[in-house]
Amino acid sequence: MHKKDLGLAVLIILVGAVVYLQNPLFLSPINLGNTANLIGLFGLFAIGQGFVIMTGGIDLSVGSMIALLGVLFVDMVGKFGVPWPVAILVILVIGTLLGLAHGLLITRLRMQPFVVTLCGLLIYRGVARGYTGEATAGFPFGANYPTLEWLTIGRSFGVPHAFFAMIIIGVICWFVLHRSVFGRHLQAVGKNEDAARYSGIRTGFVITAAYVICAALTAVAAVYFAMFTRSVQPSSHGNFYELYAIAAAVLGGFSLRGGEGSIIGVVLGAVLLQELQNLVNLLGIPSSLNFAVMGAVILAGVLADQQFNLYRARRRATAALGVPNKSGSARHQTPATTNDLTP
Amino acid sequence: MMPKEDQKRTLLALENISKAYTGVVALSNVSMAVMSGEVLALIGENGAGKSTLMKILGGVIQPSSGHILIDEVRYDRFSVTESQSVGIAFVHQELNVFDNLDVAANMFLGREKRAGFLRLLDVKAMRAAAEPLLRRVGASFRPDTPVADLSLAERQLLEIAKALSIQARLIIMDEPTSSLTLSETKTLMTVIAGLKAKGIAVIYISHRLSEIAECADRVFVLRDGKAAGELGKGEINHDAMIRMMIGRDLNSLYAPPARAPGEPILSLKAVRTRAKPRALVEFDVHDGEILGVAGLVGAGRTELAEAIFGIDAILEGEIMLAGKPFRAACPRDAIDAGVYLVPEDRKRTGLVLESPVCENICLADLGSMSSGGFVSRRLVKARAEDQRAKLGIRTTDVMRNAAELSGGNQQKVVLGKWLSMRPALIIFDEPTRGIDVASKVEIYRLMRALADAGVGVMMISSDMEEVIGVSDRIVVLREGEIAGSLSRPEFSEHNVLKLAVGAN
């Protein structure tokens, strides 16, 4: 666990403690369960966004994709009677293909990630609304799908399965990002794409794969959201969710320039965002202010982090310069840097 | 020292290599051979074609004609992968390390060791493999150190260790000592000797001739894209190298001032800058003189220029411009006072590359060419045409993007921007870096004309020939402070270097 992640965890606990002192309901099983469910739902696609941001890119289409795939899933299962495992598979395939399209447009046709996924945001939302004719897609009255419901909105030991899903996927992604060759290449590409290419890394493949992972995880999240809300209103479902994902990643120590960040960080970022949402509800702050609270906290967090890094860099630079020159007579090259290396 | 002289064999040969970019010939008909286990120094002025030649060796660019012979195999086109697979490794001037990864991860990037059923990274094995290589190059850091914590010199050792790990047979070092301290340079020399003993060839590109005299077995000189000659071990000395590099006498660059220097135009007293807060700076730029500012990379020359120009902060001290107190909080202040900077990095800070020449020339003075907030296109064009004629900027049309011009003409566009206004003092930071000899001479003449006309001229340069050839007086910076000042009779590379490094 990085120092950064640790700091975020401490912040989460502090905020939690403050909320609990103000309103003990915070730690009630019902509230914790609901919050954990939301953390799972949002964490799923925030992790995906992390992969994209690691490359120095961005995926703005996440929210619209959740709406489009949600509409399709509900219709497939509810309206056309497609068996739900098949429907899930179809949704995953569509998501993967959309991610592949993003990746190829960005790597092969050299388009900017912001532009490609902004167009995705508009197109998917538009298609979702056009396909349903602005009508809400829902399951037929009284229909139920016990296994599917158990998998998505069920609970074990009081813990919602969405949360479990996020943990399982998070662990897999942790191995992929931090312990696999692909993950290492992803970090290198994000830091310096040209140098990575000269090191023999297939940068186009690595970047495309990041968008595919992001879209595939978004597809999984789309199914969970559809089951959670039970009906999908195509013009509002998933609105701004891409921003939640980006915010979680930034809070979790990702740099939008690429190359920096960790899975634990983005998950903790998602936790903090839901905690803040919860704080707004529990402390009686008008819920219309929840975006303002989130924005202020993210701004303060990133600012503090940056100032801290600046301070550390300055201290390191001073240390490397060695002892201050006295009278300017002795001009020595202190090998101070080598001493700094031993932790 | 080299007992097995006769056992050396040709590792690689470049034959009749030419490279032309649109309108510019970077290399013409260059042939060069490298023997195994030798240190071949490649020297030449900026823009002589060294980096083009090395890019061809790295497979990054393809020659327009000519071919490369390696192990009797002939390559007409040479790719990055081929370059790597035959064992050519680069230690770059701008180091290509990834500071978000640790040392071992950098060393094995693209060639990671894997283990286990899932073929995950074998971090332990990579660290273990990195350890002896680091020891071989005399590095004191460990394989698990984050690269962000390494100094520039240590990053360079990492690059060399990486070259060893891919079993490189030829290591190309591009200005390896430009950011190293003296003791670090000594370490590097030892490392190079070790490489040589193992039969690894080194191409050593440097402007520091004393280092070359120390470590090179052979010197290959490029001038204006052509081979200017070679020097064998016994012939390597300072004068011979310079003669071959510039192909003429040093003093021919020097046009004497029209008059004796007058009052100070700019004078700094006890100035401290944020970039070098410990250093106190004091110097004058006199009316009628060209003041050369010399120093090693990292001595704070550019930082000083940027502080005067208002880009970086001045903490304390007094600056007088033509007898009046002057302090620029931002570049606009400096420009309004007539203090202009021709920056070091022409493409990044000198020009808006993707804008037309005319807009570049007028960018700093749009206020005088507009009314009611609307810029007069006629005035902009007229001013640009005026500067084009005066400076001889070679472009078909001032509406063309600055990016399409050659380096020399781009620099003239930067100059045109300032000359079309009312200069009191112009700071030239590396004014002739990477531009052709003809444009260089024109720029030197222009600086002289400015000085004669009463404009303060301050020229920062790392090019020793230039500093000595063009300046009327030289101040040398060392660790942000003025280490000394030299008048024309005291000019010599030796004296400048002595002040720059502070050796006795």
At A258-283, the pLDDT tens digits run 999 999 999 999 999 999 999 999 99
Q: How far is B96 from chain A (nearest CA, A)?
A: 6
| A296-301 average pLDDT score | 86
Residue range of the domain that includes A280: 3-315
A168 Cβ contact partners less than 8 Å away, ≥ 6 residues apart: none
Give me the CATH number covering residue A239.
Answer: 1.10.3470
Q: How far is B503 from chain A (nearest CA, A)?
A: 9
Chain B positions touching A183 (Cβ under 8 A) are: 121
Token output for B419: 């000359």
Residue B242 lies in a domain: yes
Report helix angle A290-321 to A263-282, nearest 10: 140
A330 Cβ contact partners less than 8 Å away, ≥ 6 residues apart: none
Same-domain pairing of B178 and B316 = no
Closest residue, chain A, to B104 (C-alpha) = A184
Residue B86 lies in a domain: yes
**Nearest CA to B422 among B311, B300, B489, B338?**
B338
Please, which pLDDT band fits residue B95 given cuts at 50, 70 and 90?
low
Q: What is the pLDDT of residue B4?
A: 46
Q: Please identify which residue in the block is written with the tokens 């850091």.
A: B141
Q: How far is B279 from chain A (nearest CA, A)?
A: 10
Question: Quick check: B447 and B459 in contact, CB under 8 A?
Answer: yes
Interface test with B, best of A178, A197, A199, A201 (most B CBs within 10 A): A199
Q: pLDDT of B208-217, one tens digit each? A: 777 888 889 9
Distance CA B440, CA B48 (A): 13
Residue B348 lies in a domain: no
Please, which pLDDT band fits residue B149 given cuts at 50, 70 and 90?
confident
pLDDT above 70: residue B46: no
Number of domains in chain A: 1
Residue range of the domain that includes B278: 262-338+422-504
Query: Cβ B96–A192 below 8 Å, yes or no?
Result: yes
Residue A323 lies in a domain: no
Residue A58 lies in a domain: yes
Distance CA A74, CA A68 (A): 10
Residue A324 lies in a domain: no
Torsion of CA A108, A114, A116, A117, to 10 degrees: 130
Query: Cβ A337–B151 below 8 Å, yes or no?
Result: yes
More reliable by pLDDT, B78 or B417: B417
pLDDT above 90: residue B181: no
Distance CA A274, CA A294 (A): 9
Query: Cβ A187–B98 below 8 Å, yes or no?
Result: yes
Residues in a beta bridge with B400: none
Residue B305 lies in a domain: yes
Write the single-letter amino acid at B235: E
Residue B298 lies in a domain: yes
Residue A333 lies in a domain: no
Give me the CATH number covering residue B327.
Answer: 3.40.50.300
Residue A321 lies in a domain: no
Write the single-letter amino acid at A144: N
The interface predicted TM-score (ipTM) is: 0.76
Q: For B121, which of A184, A324, A328 is closest by C-beta distance?
A: A184
Token output for B198: 């193992």
Number of domains in chain B: 2
pLDDT above 60: residue A333: no
B439 Cβ contact partners less than 8 Å away, ≥ 6 residues apart: B406, B407, B408, B409, B411, B412, B432
Domain boundary among B249, B279, B299: B249
Q: Please identify which residue in the block is written with the tokens 């219709």.
A: A75
Q: pLDDT of A201-222, one tens digit each? A: 899 999 999 999 999 999 999 9
Q: Please identify which residue in the block is written with the tokens 């390191």.
A: A316
Q: What is the pLDDT of residue B134?
A: 92
Q: How far is A223 from chain B (nearest CA, A)?
A: 29
Residue B139 lies in a domain: no
**Number of Cβ pairs < 8 A linking chain A and chain B:** 84
Residue A341 lies in a domain: no
Write the single-letter amino acid at B67: H
| A236-242 average pLDDT score | 93
Q: What percent of chain B has pLDDT over 70?
A: 94
The HSE-up count of residue A72 (CA atoms within 13 Å, CB side) is: 24
Q: For A340, which of B97, B149, B481 is closest by C-beta distance?
A: B149
Interface test with A, best of B120, B137, B142, B165 (most A CBs within 10 A): B120
Question: Quick check: A117 and A215 in contact, CB under 8 A?
Answer: no
Closest residue, chain B, to A317 (C-alpha) = B151
